[in-house]
Amino acid sequence: MTVLPHSTDVLHRLSDAVDGFLRGEKEFNLADPSAHRLVGGRFRALGEQIGAGVHAGMQEEDIAAVVQPARSACARTPLMRDEEEWVRGYPSDFRLVEHVLAQANGAAPGTLGWHVEASLQSSAITQQHRNRVTHQARLIGDAFTAPRQGPRSVLVLASGAAPELRHLPPGALRPGDRIVLSDVDPDALDLAQKRLGPLNEVTTAVPGNVFRALNPLAELGPFDLVLANGLYGYLNDRAAVRLTEAVLTRLCRPGGTFYFASVLPNLFRWPLEYLLGWQVIERDEAAVRALLPGCDVSIVPDPTGLALLTHVRVHRV
């Protein structure tokens, strides 16, 4: 391990934070469900020291080596990234999303992992995800129930198992209305089909990488509403700009809306990234607007203040 002289103190503080987190197994009564607040405090304190190490110039592999014992303890929770999910070569989060939405805790009771998960499931970082799904569901409901002439069509990119569609009010769709789902993971689309019930009759699934799926998606359009929820959290700026241009010129109907969400820079990043393997690209409002030059954009924060909800109106010809 190579540590710069100025970061020696940071390394010591990081090591102490790891030790403090692990001591929770002995110092706290883990049989008491309310202990998740104490464990969560140690978890967040460790995250702060990880962030301090990053900003002090510690190498990523050095930080990972120091925090490995804490990561192993966190591995007892289903929120821990299962490396098998990356075998296909892309991030597949739909199971994680379903877990967060259910506010479940599948870890063994009485373990640090259980209390870490309980703390995270009650935190703002998971609540913002639930808020984003609720918001996307509202946009879909509004698209189908608003006064209109002719059928409506909605496209959900990176749809996962399409949890937002489960909230559509009965009778929202009218004859001719269509829904198209696209996701890189065919297992996600299979789960969507199992859970959507009668909506399957008006739903078309297009599997594959979003960029490779553009042609078949364009053939099914244009769409009144295109949604990408958290997809931009996995796209660098170049890819995000490329996708935005394709959505606005090839997929969205003139007068339609394109929506996606972004996570703001926040202190949850470091423990999630180094202890749970959950990585997303954060963007503040200026970074989001830089992806949308010349567009009619509305950006609002979600109720937690940790996510930005971006709505782009496509100009009429």
Query: What is the block-wise mean pLDDT of the chain (317 residues), using blocks of 10 residues?
Result: 64 94 93 93 94 91 93 72 44 75 86 89 93 95 87 95 88 91 93 92 94 96 94 94 95 95 92 85 96 93 96 81
Output b/e per residue, 181-193; b: 16+ Cβ within 10 A.
Answer: bbbbbeebbebbb
Would you give the end-to-end CA distance of the chain in angstroms?
A: 59
Whole-model pTM: value is 0.89
Radius of gyration of the chain (CA): 21
Phi and psi for 276 in degrees, rounded to 5? -115, -5
Residue 168's pLDDT is 86
Q: Nearest CA to 121 among 130, 109, 111, 132?
A: 130
Cα dihedral 133, 205, 316, 285 sign = positive
Task: Give the CATH number of domain 126-313; options: 3.40.50.2000, 3.40.50.720, 1.10.1050.10, 3.40.50.150.
Answer: 3.40.50.150
C-alpha span between 167 and 203 (Å, rounded)? 15
Sequence ranges of the domains in the chain: 5-122, 126-313
Residue 78's pLDDT is 61
